[in-house]
Structure 1
Amino acid sequence: MAHARKKLVSVVATPSYHVVSRCVRRTFLFGCFENKDFSHRRQLIVERLSELAKVFCITISAFAIMSNHYHLVVRIQRQQAIDLDVYDVIRRWNALFRLPVLVERFSNDTPISAAETAAVNKIIETWRSRLYDLSWFMRCLNEHIARIANAEDQCTGRFWEGRFKSQALLDETAELQAMAYVDLNPIRADMAASPEESDYTSIQLRMSKDNNSPMKNLLRPFAGDSHQDNNSNDIPYNLIEYIQLVDWSGRQIHPKKRGVIAANLPPIFTRLNMQHHIWLQNCLSLESTYHRVIGPAARMQEFCALMQQKWLLGIPAAREAFG
C-alpha cells in the first residue's frame, strides 16, 4: 500500500535517503529500445543533477544512471536552507522558476507596502522549505527529463513508472552501504567490469583525473579518516578507502571479472563494525532486504514510531548487520 511521502521522509529522523526512479514499464528509455539508442539521456540526468545541486540544499552522495532507472543517495541540508538570506532564496528559486511580479519588485528594492512585504515574506518562506524538500527536488529532476524525452519521441503520457521510491538511511554505516550498493549497480547488471568503467556513476566521477570537471561539484565530498574531528556535512571517511571498499566488494560479487581477490578486508570494516559476508549480501539486495528504512534495528523502530508506521521490513536483517 502506498504511503504519503511525509510518512516516508523526515529530516527529524534522518537527513539521508536512497532514492530510485524507474521508467514506465521499466523499458530501456535510457538505453537501447525498439532499435533506438537513448543512452544520451543518461548524461541529461547527470547535467540536471548538477544544476539542481546549485539550487537545492540537498547534496548527492552517490548516483548511478542505468538503462531503465536511476539511483541516488542524497543528504538533506535543512540548516543550510534555514541560514539562507531572503535574496539568496529568491536567486535560487529564480534559477528554476519565474518570479511573481511582486517578488521581482521586492528583489529590485522597489518600494512596496507593509502588506505586500508580508505577502512576499510568506512566499519566500514557502520557497525556503521547498529548497530542502526531497519531493520538490525529485519533481524538478523527473519532470524536466520527462519533458525532454517526450519531445524527442514526439509523444505524450507518462515517462516514469510512478513516484520515486525512497529508503531512509539512519546512520553513517547505512549511508555508506547504500552508496556502495548504488556504485556497484552497473557491475551487478554486467554493464561494466570495474568501478572505473562504470559509466554515469558517482564512483567513476570520483575516480576521474579531471579535477576541473563541473560535474564533480555535484558530489558530497569525503572529509577524510573517521577519527578526525568533522563538524561539517561531508562524508566522514576517506575517499581512497571508499574506492578500495567498492573495488573489493565488486571483486567478491564478480570474482571472475577482476582477477585475484584481495586477501585482506579493507580497514574500514573495523570502524563500520560489520562482517564482510553481511556487507556483500547488502550490496546484492539492499532494496529488497530493507524496503523503506536502512540502519540499526533500534533506530528503525524509533523511525517506525516517529512516522506512525506499525512495521518495517528488514528489522531482523538489521539486527545481524548493524548490531
Structure 2
Amino acid sequence: MPRLPRIDLPGIPQHVIQRGNDRQPCFFQGVDYVRYMGELKELSVRSGCVIHAYVLMTNHVHLLLTPSQVGQVSALMQALGRRYVRYVNDRYGRTGTLWEGRYKSCPVDNETYVLSCYRYIELNPVRAAMVAAPGDYRWSSVRSNAEGVHDALIRPHPSYLGLSLDDDSRRKVYRELVGSSITAEELQLIRLRLQRQHALGSDRFREMIEAQLQRLAGPAKIGRPRKVCASKEDGVENSF
C-alpha cells in the first residue's frame, strides 16, 4: 500500500521530527550543532519556511515551522539532511546514512496547539533529564523565546506574539508557560499525532484540512455511519 503524501498546506505550521538512524547520535561535538543551525538558517530562508521553535537533541531534532507554499518543508528537510550528512561523514570519516528514514511531520492548529508545540519542543531536554530547566540547554530556541536572546533562526508565530503587547511581558508569560508541566494526556496526544502524521488541533481544524485535501487528516471515526433521512438533501535521552 503506497504511503499517503504528508499533509502540507501553505500558512499552516508543521511540527517536524527527524531521528538519527537506529536512534544513534547525529551530533557529536558542539561544532556539529552550530553547523546544523547554520545550514538550517540558510536553507529555511531559501525555501521560504519560518522557524518558530527548535531543539537539537543528541539523536533527534524537533522543529516548529510554517511554510508559505506547498512543498517547502520537504525541500528544506531534504536539502538540510543531505548537507548535514555530507558534513558529518567528511568530518568523522564515516559513510552511509545518518537519519532514520523520512522525517515525520504533522500540521498544527494555529489557534489551539501552536504554543503547546513550542513548549513541548523546548522542554525536551528537561524530560530527557539532561538539564534541570529548559534555559540550561544551549541547543534550543528557549533562550530566544523566553529570555529575548538573539537567535537568527527564530521568527515568532502570531500565537506567541499574542501572549502580550510588549516584549518583556510576553517573555514573562512565555516563561511561565514553559515552566508549567505538560499533562500526560497532552504529551500522548502530541506524540501520537506526530507519529501518525495526523492533524494536531480541533475537529474544525481537521475538517478544514480534509475538505481542502479530500483525504483523512486524523483517525477514522469508529462505528457505523449515521443514517441520513431520505427527505433531507445529501450534502526519549530518547525523549520524543
TM-score by length of 2: 0.77
Find the counterpart in structure 2 of residue 192 from structure 1.
131
Residue range with higher mean Cα deviation, 59-68 or 190-199: 190-199
Unpaired runs of 5+ residues, structure 1, are 31-36, 79-128, 229-236, 254-276, 317-323
Instruction: Report the CA distance between 1:63 and its aligned residue.
Output: 0.1
Find the counterpart in structure 1 of residue 32 from structure 2.
41
Instruction: Report the CA distance between 1:2 and its aligned residue.
Output: 6.2
Mapping of residues 93-172 of structure 1, within 5 Å: 133-172=72-111
Instruction: Report the CA distance between 1:306 and its aligned residue.
Output: 3.0
Instruction: Report the CA distance between 1:209 and its aligned residue.
Output: 6.2
Find the counterpart in structure 1 of residue 226 from structure 2.
none
Question: Match of 2:205, as an amino acid?
Answer: R
Deviations 1:225-258 (A, max 9, x none): 4586xxxxxxxx9333122100123xxx6xxxxx
Query: Which of 131, 142, 147 is the aligned partner of 1:203?
Result: 142
Residue range with higher mean Cα deviation, 48-57 or 171-180: 48-57
Instruction: Report the CA distance between 1:21 and its aligned residue.
Output: 0.6
Instruction: Give the secondary-structure state (helix, strand or coil) at the position aligned to 2:91.
Output: helix
Identity %: 25
Distance 2:118 2:33 in 1: 19
Question: Match of 2:86, as an amino acid?
Answer: R
- The answer (yes or no) to whether the contact 2:54–2:61 under 8 Å persists in 1 is yes
Instruction: Report the CA distance between 1:296 and its aligned residue.
Output: 0.2
Instruction: Report the CA distance between 1:158 and its aligned residue.
Output: 1.3
The structure whose Rg is larger is 1
1:304 correspondence with 2:210: yes
Instruction: Give the secondary-structure state (helix, strand or coil) at the position aligned to 2:180.
Output: helix
Task: Say what the alpha-carbon RMSD is for the aligned residues.
Answer: 2.9
Deviations 1:259-281 (A, max 9, x none): xxxxxxxxxxxxxxxxxx5xx63
Distance 1:159 1:221 in 2: 30
- The answer (yes or no) to whether the contact 1:187–1:194 under 8 Å persists in 2 is yes
TM-score by length of 1: 0.59
Instruction: Report the CA distance between 1:315 and its aligned residue.
Output: 8.1
- The answer (yes or no) to whether the contact 1:289–1:313 under 8 Å persists in 2 is no
- The answer (yes or no) to whether the contact 2:48–2:67 under 8 Å persists in 1 is yes
Q: Cα gap change, 1:15/1:210 in structure 2, threshold over 3 Å: closer, same or farther?
A: closer
Instruction: Report the CA distance between 1:221 and its aligned residue.
Output: 2.7
- The answer (yes or no) to whether the contact 2:112–2:202 under 8 Å persists in 1 is no
Instruction: Give the secondary-structure state (helix, strand or coil) at the position aligned to 2:113.
Output: helix
Find the counterpart in structure 1 of residue 170 from structure 2.
238
Instruction: Report the CA distance between 1:196 and its aligned residue.
Output: 1.0
